[in-house]
Structure 1
Amino acid sequence: MIDRPVRIGLQLQPQHMDYATIRRTASEADELGVDILFNWDHFYPLYGERDGLHFECWTMLAAWAESTSRAEIGALVSCNSYRNPDLLADMARTVDHISDGRLILGIGSGWFERDYTEYGYEFGTAGGRLDDLAAALPRIESRWAKLNPAPTRKIPVLIGGGGEKKTLRLVARHAGIWHSFADAPTLERKLGILREHCAAVGRDPAEIEVSVEVDLSGAEQMRSLGASLFTVGVGGPKPDLGPLREWLSWRDEQNS
């Protein structure tokens, strides 16, 4: 992996707070200099009160495209199961334009069963959902090539997950960013597998940015393995950006 500059993301979890709080927090993080603002693509909270306050992903991203001006924006990650791939491509292209080219398309195969059952989607199997994602990614890329106007740039695709046979193969073929939930030893092993998948499709693995979520105490080790995008999560009801400030200070030290 090439020695990329460190970038810091904030996953502003759209749960347990009203939208005014979400908007204010997103704007504050943008002003502080966060590199990427993420939300997530669920319909119910993942933590805390299971029926607590929660908002939808893509309408929020469109609003962030207008209410922020510096940070890239995206979902960590958008669920492939919830939208037709051609429609998702068009939504992404539209938010790309609204944001003046700041959108990242984070995407994954989906896992939160309650979202599926409550909203009428077929949950199926993990393997089947990954197969659906594999079929969707070329459709998204093809639709981007047909849209008028075209996207403002080659929209970066972030794929989340660590499945070694299917997910990492999709990363090698389609992603500009790979988001891993692994600890350091597991990340090191999976990076080796990712390099093998890249070799199989004739791609330089250095083209793929490595993204992780880790405590600041573990950042140096992850950095030594090739990670350059570090994301901190914050939710409601009173989101605290203190940890984000610490991460931004560490980023600036690393990049100086």
Structure 2
Amino acid sequence: MTFPVRIGVQLQPQQSPDYGLLRDAVLRAEELGVDVLFNWDHFFPLYGDPDGPSFECWTMLGAWAEQTQHVEFGPLVTCNSYRNPELLADMARTVDHISGGRLILGLGAGWFARDYDEYGYEFGSKGSRIDDLGAALPRIEQRLAQLNPPPVRPIPLMIGGGGPRKTLPLVARYADIWHAFVNVDSYREKSALLAGYCAEIGRDPAGIERSAEVRYSGDDTATLKFADDITAEGVSLLTVATGGPDYDLSAARLLCAWRDAR
């Protein structure tokens, strides 16, 4: 299966004291022609002032479902630990309906200790959090199949992470999209591991869309070289992040122009 090259933008819901700045960024990004909009699922900023402004993930996604018209959207990624799996499935189904069938359900095992500590969740260990994600995935699938009405479309499931022993087997079994934080060499290695896990369960790895973060430092030439190199390896969804309060879309504009010139 060949996936079209798509450009994503992660609008980090942090350091924005006024939600109107995020609302405006969503509008600008959709007008720019990005394919996918993401936020993240953290309760506190990850960059800049650690006690700066921050907004909640899924409440925001409900607003995006109404505000946007064409772009796909979702969390990159939502933390499995913060919500009962059945509840999360129902939330995703509802937001999918509000948008007319444009939600991507991004899932990860969680890692940011402050979120857990201040909101009363058990942090556990990296291994236990991934085990919990593995236990949640079939429950999410089962609940989605039982909901009335069902989702508008089969909601694409994105799994974020590249752990070779636990996360990649989950990607092989459950994911429609695999998102990784990689350079070209590490992506090549992890992709080969994923292919092996797919072979063990009789799944064609080409059926999993590949997604990667694009880190933009202001060097357009380096950014476009990375985009060329990583897409040559099979990645088709390239996502660049931007934070508040400005939500600069320069990198997204660069990548959209690159996409359109291919």
Task: Tell me the TM-score normalised to structure 1 length.
Answer: 0.97
Give the aligned partner of residue 224 of structure 2: 216
Q: CA deviation at 1:216?
A: 3.0
* Superimposed CA distance per residue, residues 64-119 of structure 1 (whole angstroms, 9 cap, x where no aligned partner): 00011111010000000000000000000000000000000000000000000000
Q: Give percent identity, aligned residues only.
A: 62
Q: Which consecutive residues of structure 1, in runs of 5 or more, have no partner in the other structure?
A: none
Could you say what secondary structure the match of 1:73 adopts? strand
**Aligned mates of 1:63, 1:109 — CA distance in 2:** 25
Equivalent residue for 2:14?
15
Partner residue, 2:107:
107
**2: distance between equivalents of 1:29 and 1:218?**
22
Cross-structure match for 1:206: 206
Structure 1 match to 2:239: 231
Is contact 1:130–1:167 with CA below 8 Å preserved after alignment? yes
Gaps of 5+ in 2: 215-222
Matched, 1:133 2:133: yes
State the partner residue of 1:4.
3
Q: Is the 8 A contact 1:33 1:70 kept in 2?
A: no
State the distance in 1 between where 2:122 and 2:3 align: 40
What one-letter code is carried by the residue in structure 1 that aligns with 2:245?
P
Of 123-132 and 25-34, deviating more is: 25-34
Partners of 1:70 and 1:24 in 2: how far apart?
A: 16
- Quote the RMSD (CA, aligned, Å): 0.8
Aligned to 1:244: 252
AA aligned opposite 1:243? A
Cα deviation code 1:121-172 (max 9, x no counterpart): 0000000000000000000000001100001111000000000111010001
Q: What is the 5 A alignment of 1:76-225?
A: 76-214=76-214, 215-225=223-233
Distance in 2 separating the partners of 1:216 and 1:112: 31
**Secondary structure of the structure 2 residue equivalent to 1:227:** coil
* Secondary structure, counterpart of 2:188 in structure 1: helix
AA aligned to 2:9 is L
Amino acid at match of 1:219: A
Deviation at 1:33, TM superposition (A): 1.2
How far has the Cα of 1:28 moved from its partner? 1.1
Give the Cα–Cα distance (whole angstroms) in 1 for the partners of residues 261 and 2 of structure 2: 15
- Report runs of 4+ in structure 1 exceeding 4 Å deviation: none
Q: 1:32 offset after TM fit, Å?
A: 1.4
One-letter identity of the residue aligned with 1:106: G
Q: 1:217 Cα shift?
A: 2.9
Name the stretch that deviates more: 154-163 or 240-249. Answer: 240-249
Distance 1:193 1:173 in 2: 13
The answer to whether 1:63 aligns with 2:47 is: no
Whole-angstrom distance in 2 between the partners of 1:236 and 1:99:
24
- Structure 2 CA distance for aligned equivalents of residues 231 and 15 of structure 1: 17
SS at match of 1:158: strand
For residue 235 of structure 1, what is the amino acid of its counterpart? G
Cα offsets for 1:179-238 (capped at 9, x unmatched): 010111110010000000101111111110110112333111101110000001000111
**SS of 2:236 mapped into structure 1:** strand
Secondary structure of the equivalent of 1:198? helix
In 2, Cα distance between equivalents of 1:15 and 1:166: 30
Mapped contact 1:37–1:72 kept (Cα < 8 A):
yes
SS at match of 1:34: coil
Q: How many equivalent residue pairs?
A: 253
